[in-house]
Structure 1
Amino acid sequence: MSDAAPRHPVVFTRVGIWRGARVALPLWIGMLPFGLVVGVISAGKGLSLLETLLMSGIVYAGAAQLLALEMWTDPTPVLAVILAAGVVNIRMAPMGAALSPWLDKLRGWQLWGSLATLVDHSFALSMAEQRAGGRDAGFLLGMGLSLWVAWMAASAAGHVLGGAVQLPAGHPLYFGGIAAFSALLVPLWRGPGRDLAPWALAGAVALAAQHLGVAPPLPLLAGALSGAALAAWRETR
């Protein structure tokens, strides 16, 4: 049996939802700079506060939203924006597969709510919870909903503040997002014997693609897929 699988039958409880929501609270700091930037850029592109909140609430994906806003012109290349956002978010597919010990046991709003609010942060900590023997799938939904609230608040704040939030490139606030993503690696690390090679390959491929001038977000996608492929191959041996 995989070490990612819960050792007991999967349940879905309110206790698990509230626990996930509480665990996610420290990660709100990492959502702040992304949300502020999305709100500021949305205002600069002429989107109203309602339109900004609808985009943040439905799309709920910082990288995809930033990419879409960068491509936002008049007229808007709708098909190109959709394809670009799809490329960025395709990483969600292997995330869902990795969480299948929980997701396969859910139905209806529990399943679709968990998938709709799935982000990198909730995935990483939910995987750590799974590997520790956690069996309450409500943890995943609780984390996703908690982070969704933070994302909406940060996006709204960025839009309302507008021109007042003019942070220069390299401002320390931007490091909050990087720090949050880096911290997510800690609970996922299972030792050099299992994770060093896939993680190193992912980083090397992404850096090589960027060095060759491949347009974003393809370097990130290439690194993620190569690392995931190596990890999957090693698991099946």
Structure 2
Amino acid sequence: MHDRKKRQQELIAGFTANLVVAASVGTYGSVLGLLAAQKGLSWYQLLIMNLSVFAGSAQFVMVDMWFPPLPIAEITLAVLVINMRYLLIGASLSPLFHKTSLGGKMAFMHLVADENWAITMARFHKETISPWFLLGGGLCVQAAWCTGTLLGHGLGAVITEPERYGLDFSFVAVFTALVFSFWKGRSDLLPWLTAAAVAVGSELLLPGKWYIICGGIAGALVAACLSNKGQQETP
């Protein structure tokens, strides 16, 4: 009974903590809804996509490639490439899942988005939390995402140029603010600069979204090397 109450508290705490980004997630989702309506997707097709895929950048690519006959193989490959970053996200969450079964990890990871992952990790560095905090955040983000996309779909005939109002930049602005909450000091400077430089170079040289993976791996490797060096120098 005590464990059940604690899980409920963690769930509510995670949901509440992510309310700060819910409005921005909904706004970002409304842009997808607008584009989906322009491509001829029905509201229930969009809802099914939200519940099954639940990955903003991948869904934007899917909608952009939504031309009959649907290029299923190309869409699947594009989504897999874009979502490869979740391999890194999943690895970063391993300390949170150390007592969770494989089935539980799969269930929790389905509702992991960039926003609730960032907020969960920021809280994890400050206090002890469980995967239920992550799940609560995922439910909050998904509710905001579904609401925003469906509202945007309904307003698709009204707002024909979402970029004119800067709605296409809302996600970038929110996540940039979240990322800077991880700044711990000068020791983070080299990994961050390395990740940024590799990402920019990869974006210029490679097609698609490979710059996300390349930048993330490069930054992680530099951070790991610096960490090992520091441990070796410690007497």
Name the TM-score, length of structure 1 as normaliser: 0.87
Residue 134 of structure 2 corresponds to: 140
Q: Is 1:229–2:216 an aligned residue pair?
A: no
**Whole-angstrom CA distance in 1 between matches of 2:92 and 2:212:** 19
Residue of structure 2 equivalent to 1:198: 191
Mapping of 1:40-79 within 5 angstroms?
A: 40-79=34-73
Say how many residue pairs are matched: 225
Specify the code of the residue in structure 2 equivalent to 1:217.
K
Cα RMSD, aligned residues only: 2.0
Q: Give the match's secondary structure for 1:114.
A: helix
Q: Pick from 111, 119, 127: which aligns with 1:125?
A: 119
Other structure's SS at 1:101 match: coil
Give the match for residue 4 of structure 1. Answer: none
Pick aligned residue for 2:209 from 213, 217, 222: 217
1:164 corresponds to 2:158? yes
Matched residues in 2 for 1:93 and 1:122: separation? Answer: 16
For 2:163, what is the secondary structure of its paired residue? coil
Asked if 2 retains the 8 angstrom alpha-carbon contact of 1:64 and 1:89, the reply is yes
| C-alpha distance in structure 2 between counterparts of 1:175 and 1:43, whole Å | 20
What is the CA–CA distance in structure 1 between the aligned matches of 2:105 and 2:17, rounded to whole Å?
A: 20
Q: Distance in 2 between matches of 1:232 and 1:82?
A: 32
- Cα 1:108/1:217, change in 2 over 3 Å: closer
Q: Which runs of 5+ in 1 are unaligned?
A: 1-10
> Which residue does the alignment assign to 1:3?
none
Q: TM-score, length-normalised on structure 2?
A: 0.88
Cα deviation digits, residues 120-174 of structure 1 (max 9, x gap): 1111111111111323331111111100100000111111111212235352333
* Aligned-partner residue type, residue 225 of structure 2: W
For 2:208 and 2:28, how far apart are their aligned partners in 1? 17
User: Which has the higher mean CA deviation after the structures are superposed, 201-210 or 88-97?
Assistant: 201-210
Aligned-residue offset at 1:28: 1.2
Q: For residues 221 and 164 of structure 2, what CA distance do their matches in structure 1 show?
A: 34
Q: Would the aligned equivalents of 2:202 and 2:211 in 1 still touch at CA under 8 Å?
A: yes
1:150 matches 2:127 = no
Where in structure 2 are there 5+ consecutive unaligned residues? Answer: 230-235
Shift of 1:199: 1.2
Q: Distance in 2 between matches of 1:34 and 1:79?
A: 27
Q: What is the CA–CA distance in structure 1 between the aligned matches of 2:162 and 2:7, rounded to whole Å?
A: 44
Q: Which of 128-137 and 88-97 deviates more? A: 128-137
